[in-house]
Amino acid sequence: MQVNKDRLVKTLQSLVRIPSFQDSLKVSKWVKDEMGGIGFNVISDNDGNLIAEIGKGPGFILNAHLDTVGAGDGWKHGPFSGTIENGRLYGRGSSDCKAGVASMIEIARVLKKESIKKRVVFTFTAFEEGYPLVKNGVYRILPKLKNIDKGLVLEPTYSNGALGIYVGCRGSARYQIDIIGERGHSSTPERYDNPIYKFPKLLEELRSFPKGTMNVGILGKEISDAMTVTEIWAKEGGNVIPAKCTITIDRRSLPTEKPGEPDKKIRALCEKALGKKFAMENKSSVQGYLYEDPEFLEMCKQAVISAGCKTGADFLMARIDASILYNFAGIGALKLGPGTKEQAHVIDEYCDLQGLQKATEAVLGVIRRWDGS
């Protein structure tokens, strides 16, 4: 049995029409009903995380997240319209990551009609987009994932006829830094220690902080870490010197960094710029990962080529849930998915429907090769 493109597109259209920013319960119920209708027994929890499986023995996991970022303003096509125009389906989450969800549902339909030798585990998860580790859907379902060795995370990797495969990603951590000063009246600024004036020195240290690097042997390329300020606020009134100036630092760490090592680097940087007049809180933190399995990578490449796409392996600068599967459960997962990769989080987000079909065929091809069927 092959992928049914019309059914696949209609599934994605239905998913896009269900808003799932910060609340995935409605779209989760829809997916649970669809999978149940196909004939799967679906396990769910209060957050909307779903697990379904087929077959017996060693497991292969497929994962896609149900939640999206906010829609924002300025859309030509409605963010929840599912409008199809010139081979593209528009809507928030159409590429990131409801295309992956649609693909998994279509693959479930196909596999239900076939006889497989091993076991495929479908996981649809919530709270991926910017949430702390303890809230993340994949992290929450880890205790239920048994005897799984490999898998794919169906985040967007399609672009202009090419379907990329990612073997790892950098870690992600966000730190809240409170620069401590003295609150006072703005008419006598000389009396008080204004924390805003300390920020430039911290910014200078951030900009000059040396980058770490590592070599990704399977790719033959070098990657580096990254760090930047993403938020700053110190609002107590137009005529008030604030007691503190708060910033957010976004840190993208290398897989080689040990747990807690990025924290030490940020703290040392703050101490150099601010002395003891700061408070630091790690708001969220997930390690990066690198999964070097040449045989599995080649299996994925051959499946992509058979689906009619160009391909190549790469390393992701952002973070994906494959890092949680690898670091906390030892599951080696690669990123390979049907969404259009340049479309994540943008206004007028769309999914290239040719890519949707070909990537779904490629993922199905990976499963068949892994299963030996």
Catalytic site residues? 67, 128
Q: Rounded to 5 degrees, what are φ and ψ at 262?
A: -60, -35
Handedness of CA 308, 310, 313, 314 (dihedral sign): negative
Alpha-carbon gap, residue 205 to 73, rounded angstroms: 36
